[in-house]
Structure 1
Amino acid sequence: MNSNINIKDVEERSNDNKSVHARCSLSTVRATSTPAYTMAGTVSDLASIYRAWLDCTSQGRWNDLPKYMHSTYTYNGQEFDPQTFVTLVQREANRFAGFTINVDAILIDDGAQCLSCRLYSKGRPTETIFGYEPPGQDVYFVEHHFAWFTAGKLSKTLFTLDFKSVSYQFRHPDAEYALDLLGQSPTLATKTLSRQSLEDAFGAYLGCVNDWKMKSDLARFCHSEMTHNGEKLTVD
């Protein structure tokens, strides 16, 4: 969500190219309407809790936000109690008019009680953001969140922001901007891989990158044409 705890900190981290490598079993949950809130820790419940938490922020229901949060909550390395976090998020959300959050896709690891969420939020800035003056129109923020749950409540979140696309919208307010949504991507697969095969393939892809073997091995893992952060690229 673009109601970041300290939006200036995001700008400072946007050029940090360090990456975190993780490996887990994932179940995919496509963007749908928000299910009823529950406190259990199943796949559907984790998605329900997280969607309800995002809805509270999107709809400005600040008094409801803490009930989905653990008594201690860590957000990008900073520790908060629920009420302190709510106060800071409310302050950031108030920097935008018409602020809303939408889920694009969610991946869930029920065993580890965590999920990954790609979401986009939008709002019309009412003050300077990232050093840019308000463009007088909505700006879209695309984010990727990793969230962990303790006893059925949100206890930790790590997020990254697509700062490049945000900067483009501020610098080119008259240009057309189209979201590249996973939920609208066509299915290109000609065969279905098992969960373990998907994990193995992605692990091998990361190994190819880490071992600097992309020139010789990348074509094994990527289509000849692909979309990377909204940009059409060829494997060459």
Structure 2
Amino acid sequence: MPTDPDLTTTYRAYLSALNDRRFADLTRFVHDTLTYNDELLTRAQYASMIEADTRAVPDLHFVPQLLLADADAVACRLWFTCTPTSTFFGCAPTGRQIAFAEHVFYRFTDGRIAQVLSLIDRTAIAAQLSG
């Protein structure tokens, strides 16, 4: 199935908002409530989770390496190369730059994110920060 250009454009705009730290703009991209890995969250809780990551890793930048979309879903492999400055996923900062992937699937309803399924390579993060 070909990629839906509108949903791809919407998703790239969402990533731009995250990368520019325009968390107030999430109202355009995320429903008032959503599920994140099967946990019900408000948009504010979801934004707070992402904001906490960007505080721990100020140079966190969401780079889509592989992006596919259909009528109501997006699948993306995000790549991160960054340097945590405070505890990140339970790991103390070491001043080392790390690189890791997130594989994430989004379900959109009425053009906004309603569900997120995320798998982050936390083992790679811990290994890089401890080694």
- Under a length normalisation based on structure 1, what TM-score does the superposition of the two structures give? 0.51
Q: Kindly indicate whether the alpha-carbon contact (under 8 Å) linking 2:26 and 2:47 is maintained by their aligned counterparts in 1.
A: yes
Q: Please report the RMSD computed on the Cα atoms of aligned residues, expressed in angstroms.
A: 1.8
1:53 and 2:21 equivalent?
no
State the one-letter code of the partner of 1:109.
D
Match of 2:39 among 50, 68, 78: 78
Q: Kindly indicate whether the alpha-carbon contact (under 8 Å) linking 1:117 and 1:144 is maintained by their aligned counterparts in 2.
A: yes
State the one-letter code of the partner of 2:101.
V
In structure 2, the CA distance between the partners of 1:171 and 1:50, relative to structure 1 (3 Å rule), is: same
Separation in 1, partners of 2:123, 2:44: 32
Greater Cα offset, 67-76 or 80-89: 80-89
Separation in 2, partners of 1:131, 1:61: 25
State the one-letter code of the partner of 2:43.
P
1:27 and 2:2 equivalent?
yes
In structure 2, the CA distance between the partners of 1:138 and 1:81, relative to structure 1 (3 Å rule), is: same
Separation in 2, partners of 1:153, 1:143: 20
User: Partner of 1:138 in structure 2?
Assistant: 97
Q: Kindly indicate whether the alpha-carbon contact (under 8 Å) linking 1:101 and 1:122 is maintained by their aligned counterparts in 2.
A: no
Residue 130 of structure 1 deviates from its aligned partner by 4.0
SS in 1 for 2:50: helix
In structure 2, the CA distance between the partners of 1:105 and 1:160, relative to structure 1 (3 Å rule), is: same
Higher relative contact order (CA 8 A, sep 6+): 2
Separation in 1, partners of 2:28, 2:100: 26
- After superposition, the C-alpha distances for 1:203-223 in whole angstroms (9 at most, x for unaligned) are xxxxxxxxxxxxxxxxxxxxx
Separation in 2, partners of 1:76, 1:102: 21
Q: Kindly indicate whether the alpha-carbon contact (under 8 Å) linking 1:69 and 1:155 is maintained by their aligned counterparts in 2.
A: yes
State the one-letter code of the partner of 1:124.
T
SS in 2 for 1:72: strand
State the percentage of identical aligned residues. Answer: 28
- Which runs of no fewer than 5 residues in structure 2 stay unpaired? none
In structure 2, the CA distance between the partners of 1:171 and 1:84, relative to structure 1 (3 Å rule), is: closer
- Under a length normalisation based on structure 2, what TM-score does the superposition of the two structures give? 0.87
SS in 2 for 1:57: helix
User: Partner of 1:188 in structure 2?
Assistant: none
- Which runs of no fewer than 5 residues in structure 1 stay unpaired? 1-25, 29-42, 173-236
Residue 131 of structure 1 deviates from its aligned partner by 4.1
SS in 2 for 1:125: coil
Q: Kindly indicate whether the alpha-carbon contact (under 8 Å) linking 1:99 and 1:122 is maintained by their aligned counterparts in 2.
A: yes
Structure showing the higher strand proportion among its residues = 2
